Amino acid sequence: MEKLNFFRLLINRIYYFFFVERFSKKLIFDFPKNIYRWDLIQFLIDKHKFQNYLEIGCDKDQSFSRIKINNKVGVDPISGGTIRTSSNNFFIKNKDTFDIIFIDGLHHYHQVLKDINNSLNILNNNGFILVHDCLPRTLAQQAVPRYRGSWQGDVWKAIVELRTIKNLDIITCKIDFGVAIIRKKKNQNPLEIDCVNFSKLKFKNYYYNHEKLMNIVDYKKTLETL
């Protein structure tokens, strides 16, 4: 996990306040207790008898160590997993394909979009890409540059952008700060949105439209549809 410098966080906060956005309302998601990202990942692995798992961003292997599967690869430049490098470097060299890919690396819109697009290129037929931290509750939790310890980043903007694509089907499961599930198939609920630069989306817009933007589905219904 990146080391946080107090003065850097303060400068970022001031910058965000004056130059990006001010908005004080908070969302309440009531994520179910005791259901975590690794429960959803393992459900998919068991149900579809998957053999190959890739995780981008492993930290202390909180998820990676819990996943039971024949072949697992974890990529992180700092700690955890099996390969010590950035996701960009990994995707340049990698020649393997995977049944299920969990993206939880650098939580910046541009990097998440890159990680998802690179993952789509190496996803086996009928595979899944899962993306963590898609449902921030406050402006601060999603601010880039980061100015808060507990932080999901602006991953949500990448999901909103991909929700407009016709041949990607995406839901966001309402567990554990939001786990988006991406499949290469006809979009069942395409998002229509008048937006040219998704990195400039505002938290205020997400606050008032998050159900539609993210296509949020609760855990029970998610399991029924996968």
Ligand X SMILES: C[S@@+](CC[C@H](N)C(=O)[O-])C[C@H]1O[C@@H](n2cnc3c(N)ncnc32)[C@H](O)[C@@H]1O
Q: Considering beta carbons, is residue 94 or 209 the nearer one to ligand X?
A: 94
Q: How far is the CB of 55 from ligand X (least distance, A)?
A: 6
56 touches ligand X (CB under 6 A): yes
75 touches ligand X (CB under 6 A): yes
Q: How many CA atoms lie within 13 A of 115 on its CB side?
A: 28
Q: How far is the CB of 45 from ligand X (least distance, A)?
A: 15
Amino acid letter for position 223: L
Cβ atoms of 75 and 85 closer than 8 Å: yes
Task: Specify the length of the chain in residues.
Answer: 226
136 touches ligand X (CB under 6 A): no
Q: Considering beta carbons, is residue 77 or 145 the nearer one to ligand X?
A: 77
Pairing mode, strands 98-103 and 52-56 = parallel
Residue 201 CB coordination number (10 Å) = 20
Distance of CA 44 to the CA centre of its chain: 17
Q: How far is the CB of 166 from ligand X (least distance, A)?
A: 29
Applying CB under 6 A, the span of 19-27, 72-80, 93-101, 164-172 interacting with ligand X comes to 72-80
Q: Within 78-117, which residues bind ligand X (CB under 6 A)?
A: 78-79, 86-87, 104-106
Q: Tell me the Cα Rg of the chain.
A: 17
Per CB under 6 A, residues contacting ligand X are: 1, 37, 55-59, 62-63, 75-79, 86-87, 104-106
